[in-house]
Amino acid sequence: FGKVGKDPYVEPNIFCGFGWNIEVGDNFFANNNCVFVDPGKIRFGDDVKIGPQCGFYTALHPLNPELRATGAETAKPIQVGNNVWFGGGVKVLPGVTIGDNAVIGAGSTQDIPANVLAYGNPCRVIRSLD
């Protein structure tokens, strides 16, 4: 990883494109079989817990088939706040920001504010955690 806080723990197997584009804060935990597609930055705050088989994808490919065939690619960063818990199988798409203290169940295709429980496909806020 490009930046690592205190006391990280990552279960095998982890898959990433570059690694150096991933930044994790203190007490980071990632469970088995997580995937980090990181041509763009992926930043995790402190005390983030990631369940098994989660994916964080920053890469974007053109919709136009001729342009896509050239290998063109862009990326949008993913930003995760502090004290966030991702349940098993969550997929976070390019450009998404997750606020502090959020609990994410599945299908995060949009920004999620702080202090909420969110899940579904597409992921949506279910209730406040206050």
Separation of alpha carbons 107 and 96, rounded Å: 11
- Nearest residue to 54 (alpha-carbon basis) of 74, 34, 81, 80: 34
Which amino acids are annotated catalytic? 61
The two three-digit tokens of residue 116, written as one number: 């909420």
CA distances, 32 to each of 16, 75, 89, 96, 112 (Å):
13, 25, 11, 22, 24
C-beta separation of 82 from 69 below 8 A? no
Task: Name the residue with tokens 């450009």.
Answer: 95
CA gyration radius, the chain: 14
C-beta separation of 9 from 26 below 8 A? no
